[in-house]
Amino acid sequence: MRIFLFLLTNAAVLLLISILFHVLGLGEYLGQRGVHLNLDSLLLVSAVMGMSGSFISLMLSKWMAKQFMGVFVIEQPSNATEQWLVETVARHARQAGIGMPEVGMFDSPEPNAFATGMSKNSALVAVSTGLLHHMGADEVEAVLGHEISHVANGDMVTMGLLQGVLNTFVYFFATIAGYLVDRVVFRSGDDERAGYGPAYYVTQMLAQILLSILATIIVMWFSRWREFRADAGGASLAGRGKMINALRALQRAHDHRDLPGEFAAFGIDGGMASGLQRLFMSHPPLEERIAALQNQR
């Protein structure tokens, strides 16, 4: 239902933008300058290209975690630690009103954890061996509550769809920019049947790079916002004191290192950054997250 409603909203946005282009006469404006584009078709093609990658990534997220991060899924607990992890996740899942996720572990000296999956009732929650080594039971319980909150909030789906929408507009506007430079500045052709000149490919590539950077800033802003919400969820499930102590334990850990690729945004610890790097942080600074919990009422 969450996916359906989000797609319906995106379709409405695309329709509104298409109507706006016609009202403003953007197609006619471009046509007068030798850029003969069917904007509706371009918008549809851009949406298919932009959304398909995000959906494929979302569908394969659990498989990728197991294959590339070496996540061992606990199907039958073989010791007390594994039994406790499964029971704690099950309790949090019941409290959050979601289906029981798969529970896994991956070998890493850094304390970290993540949640991923196509839906809130078919997710994977995994913790690193370093997390179990550096944290006590209460702190691990809070981390698991944080990850379960990500699942219950549908953050994996929302992040994937947001990235898909932004990819759509990156390709759409980069293509228009390529046409404008190629046809207006370099005049490589006077209608849509003319072949593309080198300026089209160069401009589109540069525009995609620039617009992708801007899109990444937006995605990372949303990622930081949802971390505060997941912290609040972890505090609700495990207790605010336990959640604060878990974040403080992360502060004490040295040699912060992000999870690889797309999993960095879903980890409990997003590392450290300063200056302009803050714009590309998937997680807020730990001191800000602790302060937010301390000020929570």
Active-site residue set: 147
Of 199, 188, 103, residue with least CA distance to 151: 103
In angstroms, the CA 126 to CA 7 distance is: 29
Please give the span between the terminal C-alpha atoms of the chain, in angstroms, as a whole number: 31
In angstroms, the CA 292 to CA 56 distance is: 35
**Which residues in 107-230 belong to E strands, given as ranges?**
113-119, 122-128
What tokens does 130 get? 């370093």
Q: How many CA atoms lie less than 13 Å away from 19 in the CB half-sphere?
A: 6
Neighbour count for residue 137 (Cβ, 10 Å): 12
Q: Tokens 């409405």 — which residue? A: 12
